[in-house]
Amino acid sequence: MSRQRLIITNQPPGFRGVVGEFWRCREIALLLARRDFLVRYRRSVVGFCWVLFKPGMNALVLTFVFGHLAKLPDQGVPYAVLVLSAAIAWQFFTGVLTESGGSIVNNVPLVTKVYFPRMLLPLATLPVNLIDLLLGLILLWLVMGWTGFVPGWTALLLPLAGIPLVLVAYGAGLWVSALLARFYDLKNVIPYLLQFGMLVSPVAFSAALVPERWRLVYGLNPLVAPLELFRWCLIGDRYQLDPMMVLPSVGMGLLLFISGVWAFRRFEREFADVL
């Protein structure tokens, strides 16, 4: 029977150490993800319907307001497809942010009594939200069929476009989970920040509508690249991407992810004291 050495230190592990800890504790991550899945979907019909209802209703309202009343340009794409292709990505972001944000404060016994990499708690929220994303794609394909829209070959690149979305969502979730552990009242501010973020992100409209002189500044929004790349993959070459916005947004997304990992590891040592 093999023996494992337990090394106790007050210094956070380096990058290789974190990856090694994640691999050794992969069973814990799977159990946490399975628990979240069962809590949401076990013996639940409303759970599946709600996943489709949220982006569908958002797309319906935004299509009516911006497509029919404001009559914003649709770049030759049915406005419902234009909005829904970004709304399902936005739902994934908000789902990961809110669930991973509360993953520390909602698991106080695990955090204070059992040792494991705490970053697994926010990470475990990704699989169930990826399932929600797949269900949203099914709804989008139904809408495409109803409107007679045929996606292009770029749909094959969708898994690659999902990488920036996952990194931004996980990085933001790490920031929120670390801050909520210290300042629990911030939970009341997050819904308003998400509402504001939806208005300033290209969900209800195409980023091509942003005036050219403001595009570089608009690209500082880390959500511009994930939403625009996700939409471009689903719509195809007829949708225009502006590198002046996408490239700065990718850089800001990477910065958000790296800083989120740093902030979480910085505050992680104080979780047991402040919770």
In this predicted model, what pLDDT tens digit does every residue of 171-229 receive, in sequence order? Answer: 999 999 988 888 888 888 888 999 899 889 999 888 888 888 899 999 999 999 999 99
Q: Could you write out the DSSP letters of every residue in 25-84?
A: THHHHHHHHHHHHHHHHTT-SHHHHHHHHHHHHHHHHHIIIIIIIS----TTS-HHHHHH
Question: Is 90 exceeded by the pLDDT of residue 258?
Answer: yes
Per-residue tokens: 5? 């050495």
Per-residue tokens: 142? 């139904």
List pLDDT tens digits, range 55-97: 777 777 777 777 676 677 677 788 888 888 899 999 999 999 9
Taking the C-alpha atoms of residue 121 and residue 104, their distance in angstroms, rounded to an integer, is: 7
Residue 171's identity, in one-letter code, is G
CA 54, 57, 59, 62 dihedral sign is negative
Range of weakest confidence among 33-42, 44-53, 94-103, 130-139: 44-53
Range of weakest confidence among 90-94, 166-170, 266-270: 266-270
Range of weakest confidence among 74-83, 106-115, 143-152, 226-235: 106-115
* Residues with Cβ within 8 Å of residue 226, at least 6 apart in sequence: 89, 93, 161, 164, 165, 168, 249, 253
Number of other CB atoms surrounding residue 234 within 10 Å: 28
Maximum mean pLDDT: which of 33-47, 51-65, 107-121, 145-159: 145-159
**Confidence bin at 1 (pLDDT 50/70/90):** very low
- Could you give the percent of the chain with pLDDT greater than 70? 83
Q: How many CA atoms lie within 13 A of 204 on its CB side?
A: 21
Class of residue 7 by CB neighbours under 10 A (exposed 0-12, middle 13-18, buried 19+): exposed
Pair 180, 105: CB distance under 8 Å: yes
How far lies 246's CA from each of 212, 229, 275, in Å? 13, 8, 39
Whole-number average pLDDT of the chain: 82
**Confidence bin at 118 (pLDDT 50/70/90):** confident
**Confidence bin at 254 (pLDDT 50/70/90):** very high
How far lies 163's CA from each of 167, 169, 227, 244, in Å? 6, 10, 11, 20
Question: Is 70 exceeded by the pLDDT of residue 104?
Answer: yes
Pair 86, 231: CB distance under 8 Å: yes
